Amino acid sequence: MNNAYQNWFLGAVLAAAASGAWAAGDAAAGKGKTAMCQGCHGIPGWKTAFPEVYHVPKLGGQHAAYIVKALQAYKSGERSHPSMQGIAAGLSDQDMADLAAYYAGAASK
């Protein structure tokens, strides 16, 4: 396990504990939830080394609806990737909407 994994795991636990508020696609709330995504998606050109070397897609500037759809597909198992399925399984619909709102408005994250 490397530090990125430890950081996102800690972030996931903290974000899960903190997510109680309800608002439709709140970018400010989404920003607070990116702690668990930044370990992988915040690093330009980052590639995961497990289970194989894999390019991590850039999220900033992508369409919010696309991001939500991708996260739901990971959660349902329709789209499969070990890291993202694990992450998406812990996200509520509200978390997904907030994260999508934030990333859609971020030029390059």
List residues near ligand HEC by CB under 6 A.
8, 36-37, 39-41, 48, 54, 56-57, 59, 67, 70-71, 79, 81, 83-84, 87, 99
Compute the least distance from the CB of residue 34 to ligand HEC, in Å. 6
CA dist 92 → 2, 12, 25, 69, 95 (Å):
27, 12, 12, 13, 5
Residue 59 or 101 having the CB closest to ligand HEC: 59
Tokens 């915040």 locate to 42
Nearest by Cα to 109 from 72, 67, 51: 67
Residue 57 or 77 having the CB closest to ligand HEC: 57
Query: In this structure, what are the phi and psi dihedrals at residue 5, rounded to the nearest 5 degrees?
Result: -65, -45
Compute the least distance from the CB of residue 77 to ligand HEC, in Å. 12
Compute the least distance from the CB of residue 36 to ligand HEC, in Å. 5
**Cα dihedral across residues 66, 27, 108, 82: positive or negative:** negative
Residue nearest to ligand HEC (CB): 37
Compute the least distance from the CB of residue 57 to ligand HEC, in Å. 4
- Asked if 25 contacts 100 with a C-beta cutoff of 8 angstroms, the reply is yes
Residue 8 or 29 having the CB closest to ligand HEC: 8
